[in-house]
A and B are shown apart, each in its own frame.
Chain A
Amino acid sequence: MSAQIKYRIGKSAGFQGLTILLASSCVIPLVAILLYIIRAGITKINWSFITNVEKPVGEIGGGVAHALVGSLIIILMAAIVAVPIGILCGIYLGENRNSKLAYWSRLSVDILQGVPSIVIGIVVYIWLVKPFGYSAISGSIALAIMMLPIVVKSTEETLKLLPDNIKEAAYALGMPFHRVILKVILPCGISGILSGVMLSVARIAGETAPLLFTAFGCQFLTTDVRKPMETLPHLIFKYAISPYNDWKDLAWGASLILLIFVLLLNFFTRLITRKWKVQL
């Protein structure tokens, strides 16, 4: 074997080694973050952490109950607004692939997906907070706008995957359009759509920027959606940049809860999509 060939083979092997090294080192920060947050957070979580609300600085025994309740309410309201609209729009885009409206609508959804969360926060601040003041509703609307593109895209992609003859068989039996969609197409694609919904909830659950000047935050446990409300990510931000160590400890516990919630949602989404692909 000539030296030239040896050199080329060596270069190839060297590059392969470098690729493997760089690729596997991508996991290091993720593992480091997960381990650090689990280690810092696990000791802070106890019963009073989950059931108590914010206490003044220096008093021990504060908790994050208000943020947990607030996050749940705000996410739920956002999902109620965004999921039906997103699915309907996804159906339109999946059914009318070449119409002019579909082109512009698809472009809008693509743009919306790229809009930074802080810009959506500004817009909702102008629309809802300037006239009506800080409220949980405005936070939900901001999060709903962020959910929309993910729900739309996943619905559209799922409908594209379904074979046309399911739909044609239903039409041949004389079913009207809305029944074909609601009774045949949606049940067939439900797992794909559901995974999109879960993914979008996972995305907005950790979103802080648009909530800074919409839901704003609050020290008390409240369920009044017309008033400011605390959320988990906003609480983490507030406590993390505070100078008090016991607040930072609370923030580690809250981070762990948020992280577990988000990762579980992602895990289930992956499970569903894997099953879905096998079935098809």
Chain B
Amino acid sequence: MDTSINKDVITRPEDSLGRVITSTINATSVRTAGRIRRSYRQIRTENVFRKTLIIVSLCMVVLILGILFTLIVQAFPSIKALGAGYLWGKTWDPVQDVYGALPFLLGTLLTSFLGLLISLPFSFAVAIFLGEYYPKGWLPNLLKNAVELIAAVPSVIYGFWGLAVLIPMVQSLETKMGVPPVGYGIFSSALVLSIMVIPYSASLGRSMITMVPSSLKEAAYSLGATRWEVIRSVIIPYTKSGLFAGVLLSLGRALGETMAVTMVIGNTTQMPHSIFDTGNTMASVIANELGEADKRVYNAALIELGLVLFFVTVIINVIGKKVIGKFS
């Protein structure tokens, strides 16, 4: 198609204009033809490029749907065999083919919320410190970078440090409190998690607080409000939804955290009765058992745990992102 058009372009002027001026016309028409051929090639490349972009973006959607579909299909044997009782069953015994996920759901919720509870005062303090009190200067900048570095340290290193440093500390605390000094357990995991999730809510909260219009703050100051009153009755109400989104992102991170928790939680499958008990979270069960789950239902039950985890984190993250999107 390309060549025929070019021939057309080359031959037409000769036919219509006669032979008197052929030589000059020929030279220009050859140049034009070259240019046109080049632009045809470019249009084609452009179209290919546009299509590649569309296909690649489509791949993202396909990837997410593929992940969801795979998890549902692979978890299906367990959904069929165990039904809704799976989520409320209290015993997890692969040898007897009894699969109840309640201990792990409870373990995940306990570690995540306890960790979040411990970290919140600190992360909000960082957000207020950097967003309101000292937004500029080298020392706040250092603090900001240090807090962001907390997120950069690999989780396996947190776990190893927790094993070596935190667990002896928790053991001595437990001895003082009169509970069996195991060290491993839900409390230790929550401590490690509380360190790991600080940056997520802190940096989001900081950027939200810096976006509060100064006219609002100045109005409150001119009415005679103190610094604390401005923070409490102007900044926090204004940034409420943003701070909430930060907490959600931290929570999503804590729920899915695997390695650090696996290393310090103790990995036992019974129901936890207190926060000093050993236990297991959904992620740590998968990490420990998926590689050796040979029975079909056992394997599917573990994948169903992954499916639950996927749904919960997706919902939390989508809500969080929506809130942030509305804010900015």
Question: Footprint of B on A, CB under 8 Å?
Answer: 8-9, 11-12, 15-16, 18-27, 29-30, 32-33, 36-37, 40, 85, 88-89, 91-93, 95, 101-102, 104-105, 107-123, 125-127, 145, 148, 152, 176-179, 181, 202-203, 205-209, 212-213, 216, 233, 236-237, 240-241, 251-252, 255, 258-259, 262-263, 266, 270
- Residues 225 to 241 of chain B near chain A (Cβ within 8 Å): 226-229, 231
Beyond the given A101-B61, A122-B302, could you list 6 further A-B residue pairs with CB under 8 A, ordered by the A residue number? A8-B228, A9-B226, A25-B122, A119-B310, A178-B45, A262-B153
Interface residues on B, range: 35 or more
Segment touching A, from B88-96, B174-182, B255-263: B255-263
Q: Please report the C-alpha to C-alpha distance between residue A116 and residue B317 in the assembled complex, in whole angstroms.
A: 11
* A112/B60 in contact, CB under 8 A: yes
Chain A residues with CB below 8 A from B143, complex form: 23-24, 26-27
B170 to chain A, nearest CB (A): 14
- B309: which of A20, A116, A181, A207 is its contact (CB, 8 Å)? A116
Q: Evaluate whether A116 and B256 lie within 8 angstroms (CB atoms) in the complex, with A26-B147, A36-B161, A101-B57 already known.
A: yes
Question: For the complex, would chain A's binding face be called helix, strand, loop or mixed by DSSP majority?
Answer: helix
Contacts of B87 in A (CB 8 A): none
Residue of A nearest to B194 (CB): A29
- Say whether B287 contacts A113, CB under 8 Å: no
Chain A residues lying within 8 Å of B146, measured Cβ to Cβ, are: 26-27, 30
Q: Which residues of B contact A27 (CB under 8 A)?
A: 143, 146-147
Which residues on B sit within 8 Å (CB–CB) of A37?
A: 157, 161
CB-based A-B contact count at 8 angstroms: 244
Task: List the 3 closest pairs (A to B, CB-CB), nearest first.
Answer: A206-B154, A116-B256, A114-B317
- Tell me, yes or no, whether B195 is within 8 Å of chain A by CB: yes
Residue of A nearest to B305 (CB): A122
Contact pattern, B 54-72, Cβ under 8 Å of A = 1, otherwise 0: 1011111101101100110
Of A9, A19, A115, A122, the contact of B303 (CB 8 Å cutoff): A122
B49 within 8 A of A: yes
Please indicate the chain A residues that have their CB under 8 angstroms from the CB of B117 in the complex: none
Set A12, A21, A91: member contacting B226, Cβ < 8 A: A12
Q: Given the complex, which residues of A lie within 8 Å of B54, measured CB to CB?
A: 92, 101
Which residues of the partner chain B approach A178 to less than 8 Å between Cβ atoms? 45-46, 49-50
One of B45, B302, B310 near A176 (C-beta < 8 A): B45
Q: Tell me which of B2-10, B21-29, B124-132, B272-280 binds A.
A: B124-132
Q: Is A236 touching B318 in the complex (CB atoms < 8 A)?
A: no
Can you report 6 residue pairs joining A to B where beta carbons are below 8 Å apart?
Answer: A16-B133, A23-B128, A111-B318, A117-B256, A206-B155, A258-B157
Q: Which residues of A contact B153 (CB under 8 A)?
A: 30, 33, 206, 259, 262-263
Q: Name the B residues within 8 Å of A270 (CB-CB).
A: 145
**Contact A123-B71, Cβ < 8 Å, known A8-B229, A23-B129, A104-B61:** yes
Is the Cβ of A115 less than 8 Å from the Cβ of B310?
A: yes
The answer to the question of B20 belonging to the interface, with a C-beta cut-off of 8 Å to chain A, is no
Q: Given A19-B128, A92-B54, are A8 and B226 neighbors across the interface (CB < 8 Å)?
A: yes
* Interchain CA distance A251-B263 in the complex, whole Å: 14
- A148 to chain B: which residues have CB within 8 Å? 60, 63
A183 to chain B, nearest CB (A): 12
Pair B147/A110 contact, Cβ less than 8 Å: no
* Smallest beta-carbon distance B228→chain A, Å: 4
- Is B242 engaged at the interface, CB distance under 8 Å to the other chain? no
Say whether B157 contacts A236, CB under 8 Å.
yes
Q: Is the CB of A20 within 8 A of B129?
A: yes
Given A23-B129, A208-B155, A237-B159, verify A29-B310 contact (CB < 8 Å): no
Q: Compute how far the CA of A112 lies from the CA of B287 in the bound complex, rounded to whole angstroms.
A: 20
B243 contacts A by Cβ under 8 Å: no
B98-125 contacts to A (CB < 8 Å): 121-123, 125
**In the complex, chain A residues whose CB is within 8 Å of the CB of B42:** 176, 179
